[in-house]
Amino acid sequence: MNAIVKAPGQQDGSKAATLIVDNKQITMPVRSGTIGPDVVDIGKVYANSGVFTYDPGFTSTANCSSKITYIDGDEGVLLYRGYPIEQLAEKSSHIEVCHLLLNGELPNQKQFDEFRSVITRHTMVHEQMTRFFSGFRRDAHPMAIMCGSVGALSAFYHDSTDIHDPVQRMIASHRMIAKMPTLAAMAFKYSIGQPFIYPSNALDYTSNFLQMCFAVPCEPYNVDPVLSRALDRIFILHADHEQNASTSTVRLAGSSGANPFACIAAGIACLWGPAHGGANEAALKMLMEIGDKKNIPAFVARAKDKNSGQRLMGFGHRVYKNYDPRAKVMQQTCREVLAKLGVNDPLLETAMELEQIALHDDYFIEKKLYPNVDFYSGIVLRALGFPTSMFTVLFAVARTVGWIAQWKEMIEDPEQKIGRPRQLYVGAPKRDYTDVAKRA
């Protein structure tokens, strides 16, 4: 079999690609987005040629078209609905970014007030959820509690699980964005044996979350606006990242018609993995292991040696082959938080020195390995008072709006089909069953 792919122009000006399989020519449409690479539409390849395409990890395959987020990994660009992440991190708020991602546009004042009010008024969870929590072991990982409790929301909110009803879809979306901080704070409180703190409608989204995490009933708690703003910015930076593993999981789960709470629970399970949501914890551990700055050169040498099994955590990215734009904002946020708290964390010094050494090292330059968002975020979250077991939970709180916006977009997409990848079968060919007595 020979297979050749060409991409000549069509007579009508539209683009097309040609695949030749066993001397049979198949023409495939080439589709263009607003920005970014074109895609070859291979949807009819099997029907027309009898072959599948093979792409483990989807390194070259688009699974959908989307209007939500755009990444240019070579240039280090991240846009939400067209707006650069740096501008949103500086000027916007997470709640406004939630409106943008979910509804497509920045809200005017009236829309903003309404949206904020709707989210604020959905932050409480059904009182029976507290009894659901007490079924977990006290030492359960908060991500285990999140997987279970978010999935359980579908048992409490039947009136917003009809995915074919646009009103119910929107109510479910609001509920997810509003209740996720409450559940995350409850998971934290449960793990440290403190009473749950109810949400407060007087506070903004992120201040309310900090209060639910760090207040105790026996004394007043005042949210520090600098720290609240810093966490809000971290939420903005993590709000969406197009078709990453957990978002693709949410879309795949949703493609079967599963309810949105179940789909988000699936996304949380995927995010839990160390290659996805757990990298900031690994980066923090690495900085602690390095300890003194004088140990950096030896550590960098190990990270460059494939046989050492050691990587420079918080460096490199599947998509970004340039500085992750979120890492720049995160470094600034890190400085602000430490300054506000009056903390002189030697890990920040170690991180900055390590970054400089790696950025000037031929190995990292040639392989286009730059700091990613996780390089500095662990230092900030630790300074804010969160244990490492909560880091991925905070990521889940932030990413909820991205998951739900992508889920909603998928349900409303007329091209949507159940996700069902094909495979290259490499197992035994057909063979006959033999009786156990006759087997070797």
Where along the sequence are the contacts to ligand ACO (CB under 6 A)?
275-276, 279, 303, 311-318, 367, 369, 372-374
Instruction: Tell me the two tokens of residue 65.
Output: 């078209």
Q: Check: CB of residue 375 under 8 Å from CB of residue 314.
A: yes
Q: Provide the minimum distance between the beta carbon of 303 and ligand ACO in the complex, in angstroms, as a whole number.
A: 5
Q: Provide the minimum distance between the beta carbon of 243 and ligand ACO in the complex, in angstroms, as a whole number.
A: 13
How far apart CA 213 and CA 220 sit, in angstroms, is 13
Strand partners, 174: none
How far apart CA 437 and CA 440 sit, in angstroms, is 8
Q: Check: CB of residue 317 under 8 Å from CB of residue 69.
A: no
Query: Which residue out of 241, 317, 324, 361 is catalytically annotated?
Result: 317
- Residue 300 or 337 having the CB closest to ligand ACO: 300
Q: Provide the minimum distance between the beta carbon of 98 and ligand ACO in the complex, in angstroms, as a whole number.
A: 19
- Residue 273 or 419 having the CB closest to ligand ACO: 273
Q: Provide the minimum distance between the beta carbon of 285 and ligand ACO in the complex, in angstroms, as a whole number.
A: 12
Q: Check: CB of residue 239 under 8 Å from CB of residue 101.
A: yes
- Residue 167 or 275 having the CB closest to ligand ACO: 275
Residue 374 annotated to the active site: yes
Residue 224 annotated to the active site: no
- Please give the helix or strand (H or E) that residue 405 lies within, else none: helix 391-411
Compute how many other C-beta atoms are within 10 angstroms of the C-beta atom of residue 55: 11
Residue whose beta carbon is closest to ligand ACO: 316
Q: Provide the minimum distance between the beta carbon of 38 and ligand ACO in the complex, in angstroms, as a whole number.
A: 22
- Residue 19 or 279 having the CB closest to ligand ACO: 279
Per-residue HEC secondary structure of 36-61 comes to CCCEECCCCHHHHHCCCCCCHHHCCC
How far apart CA 53 and CA 225 sit, in angstroms, is 52
3-state secondary structure of 167: helix
Query: CA angle, corner 292, sides to 281 and 346, nearest 5?
Result: 65
Nearest to 79 by CA among 119, 115, 35: 35
CA 363 to chain centre: 28
Contacts of 417 (CB under 8 A, 6+ apart): 255
- Residue 124 or 365 having the CB closest to ligand ACO: 365
DSSP secondary structure letter of residue 352: H
- Residue 81 or 241 having the CB closest to ligand ACO: 241
- Residue 204 or 324 having the CB closest to ligand ACO: 324
Cα dihedral 411, 242, 122, 181, rounded to 10, equals 140
Q: Provide the minimum distance between the beta carbon of 335 and ligand ACO in the complex, in angstroms, as a whole number.
A: 21
Query: Which residue out of 204, 324, 361, 374 is catalytically annotated?
Result: 374
Q: Provide the minimum distance between the beta carbon of 358 and ligand ACO in the complex, in angstroms, as a whole number.
A: 8
- Residue 276 or 328 having the CB closest to ligand ACO: 276
Maximum alpha-carbon separation in the chain: 79
- Please give the helix or strand (H or E) that residue 71 lies within, else none: strand 69-72
Q: Provide the minimum distance between the beta carbon of 286 and ligand ACO in the complex, in angstroms, as a whole number.
A: 9
Instruction: Tell me the two tokens of residue 342.
Output: 């009056």
Residues marked as catalytic: 317, 374
